[in-house]
Chain A
Amino acid sequence: MDVILPARRRGARYLLATLLCIVTTLATAPLRELLDLANIVMLFLLTVFVSAAWLGRGPAVMAAFLGVALFDFFFVPPHLSFAVADAQYLVTFAVMLAVGLITSHLTALLSERTEEARAREHETHALYDLARELGSALAVPQVTEIARRFLDRLTLDMTLLVADTSGKTVSFQEYGGRHLNELGRNFARSAYDRATIVEADSLAGMGMAIAFLPLVGPTQVLGVLALAPRSDDVEQLRSQRSLLEAVASLLAITIERVRYADSAQHSELQVAAERLRTSILSSLSHDLRTPLTSLVGLADTLAQRQPPLPESACETAGIIRDQARAMHHLLSNLLEMARLQAGNMPLNKEWQAFEEVVGSSTRLLAGVLAGRRVEIELPPDLPLVFFDAVLLERVLCNLLENAVKYSRDGARIRLVGEIREASLEIAVDNDGAGFPADRTEQLFDLFARGEQEPAVAGTGLGLAICKAIVVAHGGTIVAENRPGGACVRFTLPLGTPPAMEDEESP
């Protein structure tokens, strides 16, 4: 590698080396009588050394040969002739040539290394600057601009392809102004998929990107850096490969950081929105519940007045109370649905006995269920199940209330539990008209009703809430007709309950 002077001045360097040799000869010639030949050899070796250090390897080698020739011609007897009187000078020539060649080689090597080190330092410095600039980047377009400026200095054009993994298949968004053609995109995809550099030398000279570097970040491949050299020099890319790889990895880290910053900001917004929703829901719940509580209580007060009101007034008070309670029921369902639909209602799941929610639901609905024959069949040794008791109680209450609503007085309502493979299946059925045959699927949609013309009070919220709760628990729910009635079945996945040490018998 010619490092000291630019290539176009190569001829001049050989000329300079020649001149140096001639100057040495001219300067030494008058001292021929005073100096020993061995010392004159030293002066010629010095010339070779200077040539090597200053002009590089080629001129130094030439200086070594020229030096030997000049020494022979002017200084070794017979003078002004290449003939050698004493054969021992041949040894001198050989040593002189060897020392000259080795010196020139070592010196040139040293300066090459120095130059390499300087180049590497330059590279490192450039990368450091790039890293610092990227450190302040906040968005991908900014990153692109910084990378474009850097690669511009290397006479490279670039396209940055950032992978978007949010969809089902990976798509790329291109940055950097130059758009890739179909072929280029295919190469880029292949580099992304395999996470290795893809080089397309065959495309060189067509102004197209020919090197595709995957942006391999700490956790994932983030995209591809496509490079097109402005000259058609394929070698240029090869020689700078390690630098370019470093650039690619810096870009990857930056893009990943920018993304995390984005998603952190996004989730912060989400948390704020969630907090707002929760506070609206809870204040709504409080503001609507308070007057309903007054209504129920005041209606009761009227009904229990001493001395008693006329019977019809008592009856009216009772109706007011029942209607207020019904409205509260509706309100609870609506609020519950709003919470469930937000999709991130935390479930308060615990390992517990399913019988308990069955017992508490039937106790809560004791008044409603009074006119029906309720049969409960649960397997005797049901394992603990992992669920949110409050929500499951709501599911059972809704199903039992529906069963009451759509059956006649004295009808049978059954709640049956069975273990099927890895889940607990609960069926609530009632004797009655059943569901409309073609609409059992839509029953679980919000505000769907069993009958087109609602003859029975209700909003169609109940089953939608049941479905949301069951699905949140990882189960399924279906409605079906059976001979002489309707049935809703839902499942809850059974897991492995935590172990328990049994106490020793006393």
Chain B
Amino acid sequence: MSETQTHVIVVEDEPQIRRFICDALQRDGCASFPAGTARQGLDEAATGKAALVILDLGLPDMDGLDFIHNLRTWSAVPILILSARSAEREKIAALDAGADDYLCKPFGIGELLARVRALIRRHWQSGENHPQHRFGDVEVDLLRHIVSRNGEEIHLTQIEYRLLAVLLANSGKVLTHRHLMHEVWGPGRSEQAHYLRIYVGRLRQKLEIDPAQPQHILTETGVGYRFQS
């Protein structure tokens, strides 16, 4: 294990699952640190080397949410949640607590590695700020507030622009409805959750090639949205 390898902590109490995750990570060139309990996971994270924490929410010694809260008080390392498909509430709570993404069990290794790579890339890039973004044939210049497609300017309202900016700033990350409402409309507007649906719809109309099957502004059903460039 060389020092240049990316460190990933795998907090999962099921040894078989832990094993294949660690195997896959190592084949992908990461250094994996298995942890069977939350305590071990936190101790491992405290070394400060980790670029990612993969966390199963059903741990025997600590509630997954408490783990995230604890970790977030002193670390900004990305957290990938492993969760059951039907547990939307659990996912939302974990994301609101500071987790970055989730993966539904059972998952294939391909899905796992795609998420892991995206989160690690985000982690390394987090220090850099790009005013220019590009996805599909759309270009966004946050510096000059210009959105254009194939060189042709697209007019966005203030709220649409703000929503797009929040999505771009969190590219690849799942944003819960509540988080987006708070970022775009400010605190105390959560009872107007339908605003978000309408504005996302308008943004898709303007930016997506097929708004019914969006390629960039993706719906995470029951949880929120994810921007994918």
Interface centre among A328, A358, A360 (most CB of B within 10 A): A360
Inter-chain CA distance A277–B82, complex, in Å, is 24
- Which candidate, B39-47, B129-137, B206-214, is the interface stretch facing chain A? B206-214
Task: Choose one: B23, B58, B110, B212; the contact of A286 (CB below 8 Å).
Answer: B58
Interface range on chain A (Cβ under 8 Å from partner) = 35 or more
CB < 8 Å neighbour of A351 from B27, B105, B193, B221 = B193
Report the bound CA distance from A291 to B16 in whole Å.
Answer: 8
Contact of B213 with A363 in the complex, beta carbons under 8 Å: yes
Residues of B near A506 (CB, < 8 A) are: 157-158
A355 to B197, CA, bound (A): 10
A359-B213 CB under 8 A given contacts A297-B21, A498-B192: yes
**Among B27, B192, B211, B221, which residue has its beta carbon within 8 angstroms of that of A355?**
B211
A236 at the interface (CB under 8 A from B): no
Q: Which of A382-399 contact B (CB under 8 A)?
A: 384, 388-390, 393
Q: A297-B109, A389-B222 are in contact. Are A336 and B86 (CB under 8 A)?
A: yes
> Which residues of B sit under 8 angstroms from A292, Cβ to Cβ?
105-106
Residues of B within 8 A of A293 (CB): 14, 17, 105-107
* A505 adjacent to B157 (CB under 8 Å): yes
Q: Mark B3-30, 1 if CB is under 8 A from A, else 0.
A: 0000000000010110011011001000
Is the pair B23, A301 in contact by a Cβ cutoff of 8 Å?
yes
Q: In this complex, what residue of B is CB-closest to A417?
A: B212
**Chain A, residue nearest B28 (CB):** A304
Complex contact A294–B84 (CB within 8 A): no
Q: Can you list 23 contacts pairing A with B, beta carbon distance less than 8 Å?
A: A285-B86, A293-B17, A294-B20, A297-B21, A300-B109, A301-B23, A301-B24, A332-B86, A335-B86, A351-B194, A353-B198, A353-B200, A355-B201, A355-B212, A356-B221, A358-B213, A360-B220, A384-B194, A388-B222, A498-B194, A500-B194, A500-B195, A500-B198
Contact A294 B222 (CB under 8 A): no
A362 contacts the other chain (Cβ, under 8 Å)? yes
Central interface residue in B85, B110, B200, by most chain A CB within 10 Å: B85
Alpha-carbon distance A304/B112, docked complex (angstroms): 13
Question: What 0/1 readout, one digit per residue, does chain B (70-82) give for beta carbons within 8 Å of chain A?
Answer: 0000000000000
The answer to whether A348 touches B222, judged by C-beta atoms less than 8 angstroms apart, is yes
Give B16 Cβ to nearest chain A Cβ, in Å: 4
A214 to B123 alpha-carbon distance, docked (Å): 76
- Among residues of B, the one whose C-beta sits closest to the C-beta of A362 is B213
B153 contacts chain A at the CB level, 8 A cutoff: no
Q: Is A350 an interface residue (CB 8 A)?
A: yes
Chain B nearest CB from A414 CB (Å) reads 13
